[in-house]
């Protein structure tokens, strides 16, 4: 394998890891993220973008794959953080929770850092992932318990 192929492979693996971490953090509660971040020593960092609230346009498609249309607006919070080592992280979340957006941005930057990536994965992302999966499984079990099967009886022709 050539050096450029190896660096591209490492970069795509890093992007996949970052994407997976962001998916978990976006679906987690702010208190859970804060509790997990409290268990590790946070690196020195600065806010590139102070946490702020805003609106984004939500788009839909007719029939799921037809012509796009503007469905409405959704409130989001966003933040950007830079670690003292140079990694930049971005955090977005639905709603008006600026602190959650900042914590997500900090985790995003730490996931990109060679020094903190494994620590954040083990102490923050992995436990949150387990909680998200457990919550989804619980909801699926509750939904399955209320399932009703309908049968159609057909009279024979005669």
Asked if pLDDT for residue 1 goes beyond 70, the answer is no
Q: What local confidence, expressed as pLDDT, does residue 150 receive? A: 81
Fill in the DSSP letter of residue 114.
T
pTM score: 0.81
pLDDT in tens, 10-57: 778 888 989 999 999 999 999 999 999 999 999 999 999 999 999 999
Cβ–Cβ < 8 Å for 39, 123: yes
- CA-nearest of 106, 103, 100, 93 to 54 is 93
Q: What local confidence, expressed as pLDDT, does residue 153 receive? A: 74
**Which residue do the tokens 């679906």 mark?**
27
**What confidence tier does 73 reach under pLDDT thresholds 50, 70, 90?**
very high
d(CA 69, CA 52): 27
**What confidence tier does 4 reach under pLDDT thresholds 50, 70, 90?**
low
């Amino acid at each position: 394998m050539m050096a450029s192929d190896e660096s591209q492979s490492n970069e795509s693996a890093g992007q996949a890891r970052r994407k997976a971490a962001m998916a978990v953090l976006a679906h987690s509660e702010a208190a859970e993220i804060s509790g997990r971040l409290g268990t590790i020593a946070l690196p020195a960092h600065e806010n590139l973008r102070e946490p702020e609230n805003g609106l984004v346009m939500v788009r839909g498609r007719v029939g799921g794959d037809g012509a796009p249309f503007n469905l409405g607006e959704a409130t989001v919070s966003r933040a950007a953080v830079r670690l003292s080592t140079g990694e930049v992280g971005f955090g977005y979340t639905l709603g008006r929770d600026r602190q959650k957006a900042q914590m997500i941005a900090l985790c995003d930057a730490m996931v990109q850092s060679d020094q903190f990536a494994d620590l954040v994965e083990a102490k923050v992302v992995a436990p949150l992932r387990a909680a998200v999966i457990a919550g989804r499984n619980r909801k699926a079990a509750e939904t399955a318990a209320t399932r009703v099967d309908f049968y159609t009886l057909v009279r024979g022709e005669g």
